[in-house]
Amino acid sequence: MRSIPSTCLLVILLIAGQPCSAVTAPAVPADGTVTIYRCVDAKGHLSLQDEPCPKDSQASTRSMVRPKDAPARPAPPPQAAPNPEPPSDAVEYQDIPPPPPPMYQCTSYDGIVRESEVYDPNPHCEPLALYFPYPQRLTPAQAGACRWVQDSCVRLSDEQACAVFRLKKREAASALLRAFSDTEAYRKSELQRLTQIIDESCR
């Protein structure tokens, strides 16, 4: 006969036949019940066992349903991969300064260079005597004749234009210091105009 220590009584009553560390679990009938025998011997010692009590003991029995393990939890469904975020339609704008106003460099037939904010080849009629090595030999009709000429003008790059505007600003500031009262307002407005162009387009 296998005896169950009294210290396991509470555990047996609570978990209905689960074995403690000191005993072997009783056999479980096909119907899933477990019979526990409560035996008290002549000296009053209490024992719980899975076999009938001795004849000289006071015996009582209790049938318990052996608990079953809860069914295993189903595995969680696999999580779907997050949808990739659509590309943003936002456009990053860079702070690109506007180009400076056009600036042209014009060269005359005799090599004189000038800058102009407008395309101005300056067409004009030069006296023919300027091109003749012996003007005194010209007839009156020839001496009064002229030849149409114009300057060669090319547009400067934005960087070259900014360099010209900076030079013009320094010249305008110097001219304002020497301006008379009748030209002071114009010199001041010209300096402000050049300063605005440089601040906006030549940073």
10-35 pLDDT, tens per residue? 444 433 444 443 344 445 555 567 78
Bridge-partner residues for 33, per DSSP?
A: 65
Does residue 17 sit within a domain? yes
Based on the fold, state whether residues 58 and 127 are members of the same structural domain: no
Contact status, residue 42 vs residue 58, Cβ threshold 8 Å: no
Does residue 15 sit within a domain? yes
pLDDT tens, position by position, 104-121:
999 998 899 999 999 999
Based on the fold, state whether residues 112 and 48 are members of the same structural domain: no
Q: What residue type is 188 in one-letter code?
A: K
Of 38, 65, 92, which residue is a domain's last?
A: 65
Count the helix, strand and coil residues of the chain and give each as a percent rounded to the nearest 5. Answer: 30, 20, 50
Bridge-partner residues for 59, per DSSP?
A: 39
Contact status, residue 35 vs residue 50, Cβ threshold 8 Å: yes
Tell me the CB-side half-sphere exposure of residue 41, using CA atoms within 13 A.
Answer: 7
Based on the fold, state whether residues 28 and 115 are members of the same structural domain: no
Does residue 76 sit within a domain? no
Contacts of 26 (CB under 8 A, 6+ apart): 17, 34, 35, 36, 50
Based on the fold, state whether residues 114 and 163 are members of the same structural domain: yes
* Local structure of 180: helix, strand or coil: coil
Q: If you write DSSP's letter for every residue of 43-105 in order, what string do you get?
A: T--EEEESSPPPTTSEEEEEEEEPP-PPPPPPPPPPPPPPPPPPPP---PPP-PPPPPPP-EE
Does residue 56 sit within a domain? yes
Q: What is the mean pLDDT of each run of 10 residues along the chain (203 residues)?
A: 44 41 47 78 80 82 74 79 71 82 94 95 89 84 89 96 97 95 95 96 91
Based on the fold, state whether residues 160 and 108 are members of the same structural domain: yes
Say how many domains are in the chain. Answer: 2
Does residue 9 sit within a domain? yes
Based on the fold, state whether residues 114 and 169 are members of the same structural domain: yes
Based on the fold, state whether residues 108 and 187 are members of the same structural domain: yes
Does residue 88 sit within a domain? no
Based on the fold, state whether residues 108 and 195 are members of the same structural domain: yes
Contact status, residue 48 vs residue 7, Cβ threshold 8 Å: no
Domain that holds residue 188: 104-201
Residue 26 gets which letter from DSSP? P
The pTM for the full model equals 0.50
